[in-house]
Amino acid sequence: MTKQLHKRFTTNQVKALLEKYEAKGVKLPYILNILGISKRRFFKLLKSYREDKNNFSICYKRSNPNNKIDKNIEENIIAELKIEKGLIDLNDNPIKDYNYSYIKDRLKEKYNSKVSLPTIIDRAKKCGFYIDKPKRKAHDREVVTNYAGELIQHDSSHHKFSPYADKKWYLITSIDDCSRYLLYYNLVEMETSWAHIAALEDVALIYGLAYSYYFDSHSIFRFVQGRDSFWRKHYKVTDDADPQVKQILLELGIKVIYALSPQARGKVERPYRWLQDRMVRTCAREGVEKITDGLKVLKAEADRYNFHQVHSTTGEVPYYRLKRLTREGKSLFREFSLPVPYVSTKDVFALRDSRIVNPYRKISFNKLKFPISGAPIREKVNLRIVPDVESGMAEIRLWYKDNLIGIQKVKNEDINLPNFK
């Protein structure tokens, strides 16, 4: 039964009951039961009836019957919708539909105008800025977690985040599945194993070591025989060779999980679609050309997501949900500590390789030769390679068994970063 009185009774019917109550011909509980209203509502009606019996009415009166809004606000809504259409019409662009929630936030932030979502959608439909959304298939594989740090979704997406940029950028993100908090986010021009290792290090040092990481089957995260292999005689099968990222996680005692179906991969990608969607729209409106300006937009959108937006799934703001879970002891994050025998985080969060000491007590690496002391001839030396993007130099830390036997400095370009998987 609807709660609106005017949809269940006419004014004359209610008026007749009020007249009988006034004449003491019917008791209050009987009237309340018939009308289905509270005492407070009844006495408001009675007061209105007594004040003007001839003009008494229960009909709902709209404060703004024409649903009119300020002319300037109307113009701003249309202007934003036109920008949205321009983005949708671009070829090399991930935007395929309108985001009315984004326009609502945009109007509030840029024009200090508070407009309801239904109003924006109404204007969009009237002016032809509307696309029917196709029905989405339900995902049959979901990752359900109960603790912060139980599973970190890590992924990257490659898009032209601004129509004014001359190239596409990679968005790399790590999100805690339980709290939906973005632990890491960054834009890079080139996707390498090192870019993802930097993300692992950031999360580990700031938040601690997670219980598990969740990836798709990109070659940076997983070796798949027949796709990535140069072992043409099939000496190695899928997962026999561990990529750089996986080696680090296993060394830290972190479980690695892969999305095994398009549906499961969709679980990983949905949070990133939200972020990249808003990124593209804002970069277009701000005229962003350089990745440094794109990073500023990314930070603003990530801050909004983490600290201000109520997540549709959890019903909580991600930051406060993460804090609550931690406070209640529902966190599987472990404090980071250096594994024995390492002496620096550079020995853990590094690109890995190995070389054999030759009879001249040297090793060769990408046409570079390093003298070796502290390791016998024909023995294997492990290399931990740490590039520095700002200085352009990389540090190569040489390990023999449990001993650090030397450190070499080389140019980043000489280690050929893209070759590391």
* 3-class DSSP state of 84: helix
Q: Domain 152-327: give its CATH superfamily.
A: Ribonuclease H-like superfamily/Ribonuclease H (3.30.420.10)
pLDDT value for 346: 95
Residuewise pLDDT in 10s, the chain (421 residues): 456 787 788 888 888 888 888 888 888 888 888 888 888 888 888 888 888 888 888 876 555 545 567 888 888 999 999 999 888 888 777 788 899 999 999 998 888 888 999 999 988 998 888 887 766 555 444 447 899 999 999 988 888 899 899 999 999 999 999 999 999 999 999 888 999 999 999 999 999 999 999 988 777 776 555 545 554 444 444 444 688 999 999 999 999 988 765 555 555 556 667 888 899 999 999 999 999 999 999 999 999 999 998 887 888 999 999 999 999 999 999 999 999 999 999 999 999 999 999 999 999 998 899 999 999 999 999 999 999 988 999 999 999 999 999 999 999 888 877 777 6
CA neighbor of 248 nearest in space, from 187, 191, 205, 216: 205
**Count of beta carbons in the 10 Å neighbourhood of residue 162:** 25
Q: Domains of the chain: which residue ranges?
A: 5-51, 71-126, 152-327, 345-419
Give Cβ neighbours of residue 172 (< 8 Å, ≥ 6 apart). Answer: 155, 156, 184, 185, 186, 187, 188, 191, 195, 196, 199
pLDDT value for 269: 54
**Count of beta carbons in the 10 Å neighbourhood of residue 407:** 12
